[in-house]
Chains A and B, each alone.
Chain A
């Protein structure tokens, strides 16, 4: 009995002397608390990131829908193709008339000159529309950003998100995307010329975008440039959507922090990159600017030029 008592006493003494359970528990508790804090912090950051992403994506998508409102880019592309056909057919009629009926040559020449003037006007319209779209985008995105800023900072438990006006907007086009303009239907000669000149996108009948698609001489002084735009495939119209940086061919910055750019756009924009910056502040005076980038493409063309209406 005495022996057992002694052994139990020894055990207790040993525990008292060398036992570190309490510090161990405290250490574990601290680690767990730190881990929880890190988890909360990370989830808050992710939450704020998702929130900011969603806001920027919303701004970008609204602008992308606005970009091809009423299929104006698609219509412009189609009109550029029709304008080429008008010049080509007028030239062919002029050549035929000059050979066969010289007394009507002045009339054929008048019609040819008229078609050439029409082509120049269509090109002017394309440039006018490019400028107009750039201006519209600038106004639309900056007003949306301002609207978000006016709502004030957003509190997310320990974090405070304060949107800034440091926005960057860059316009460009979709990489590896043809235009919605299609090859001539009944002008085999022109179609063959275009095919041999490499004007068609891969093996399709859609024209390649953002190159000068010339006519055969002597009308090769005229400029025809298509914009890349998702064509309508059967009954499917591509909606405005998010794209990856690899698919974006950025050309011109139209909004940059602290300065008014108002650039001259030479091509019709069909994709937009929006970068918004938000100041994230946490307790202990921790501050960081978080940049969110969204790249979106415009709605595809609604109409095919081969539609008979």
Chain B
């Protein structure tokens, strides 16, 4: 440690002595900022620690099933939903359910576990097993997130944020209005929001941030 800090102090001493105070201050600030950044946990660690429950929505294109000609339900995307408690190291991740989708349409569900949650902050994170999200996978992820949202809302729990891969953000935002969620920019704190449900959605890299404002879904009969 002395080896690292010694030259810095020497340099500062020289800076002070030679009247280069400004230069020394800039250098010190940069060094401190670098040290602070190095002390921060990596993104995925910090992401989870902020929330009590992190739901992982992982999509995967199913191969060799319902891929024959004229199939009504193929191609199928399987979505695996697990939840974990990032702040509780003893808690094992729970496999909640698997969903099978054909694009935006749900075909099947296999519930593996009940939703045993205490109150707390909940976040969704979407991942694509292949590493990149196709349109079908993004549609499936959007529908899975909505189903999960309803399951949680029935238990009086809401979602603090939905994190999606950068490449799927556009696809997912395009699907949401079908379910009554209109994407829009985050409103200023002093501007009133006329929506019963507001869910922030952002990319994992943080490059894009939107908010989903809930209104009645189109064609539901409650529009007026």
Q: Which residues of A contact B (CB under 8 A)?
A: 70, 72, 75, 79, 81-83, 85-86, 89-90, 93, 96-97, 100-101, 103-111, 114-115, 117-118, 121-122, 124-125, 128, 132, 184-187, 305, 308
Contact = CB atoms under 8 A, between A and B. Distances in A.
A107 B178 CA distance: 10
Contact of A103 (B65, B113, B155, B196): B196
B93 to A, nearest CB: 12
Interface string B30-66: 0000000000000000000000000000000000111
Contacts of A89: 97, 109, 111, 151
Interface in B87-125: 95, 97-100, 102, 105-114
Contacts of A305: 110
B155 to A, nearest CB: 8
A85 B109 contact: yes
A118 B107 contact: yes
Given A97-B153, A97-B154, A107-B146, A82 B109 contact: yes
Which of A72, A89, A106, A187 has most B Cβ within 10 Å?
A: A106
Contact of B150 (A85, A108, A118, A128): A108
Contact of A79 (B107, B196, B197, B221): B107
B109 A75 contact: no
Given A103-B196, A107-B217, A128 B107 contact: no
Contacts of A86: 99, 106-109
A186 B111 contact: yes
B220 interface: yes
B71 A125 contact: yes
B180 A82 contact: no
Contact of A185 (B70, B108, B110, B147): B110
B216 A106 contact: yes
A118 B100 CA distance: 10
Given A104-B197, A106-B220, A125-B66, A93 B106 contact: no
Contacts of B99: 86
B73 interface: yes
Interface string B136-169: 0000000100110011011110000000000000
Contacts of A70: 64-65
B108 A83 contact: yes
16 contacts: A79-B66, A82-B100, A82-B107, A85-B109, A85-B111, A93-B151, A96-B154, A97-B150, A104-B214, A110-B217, A114-B105, A115-B109, A117-B105, A118-B107, A121-B73, A121-B107
Contacts of B216: 106
Given A81-B110, A122-B73, A125-B66, 15 more contacts: A75-B66, A82-B108, A85-B110, A90-B147, A100-B154, A104-B196, A107-B146, A107-B150, A108-B150, A118-B107, A121-B72, A121-B73, A124-B72, A128-B70, A184-B110
A111 B150 contact: yes
Contacts of B112: 185-186
Q: Which 4 A-B pairs have the closest CB atoms?
A: A82-B108, A96-B154, A106-B220, A86-B109
Which of B105, B106, B155, B217 has most A Cβ within 10 Å?
A: B106
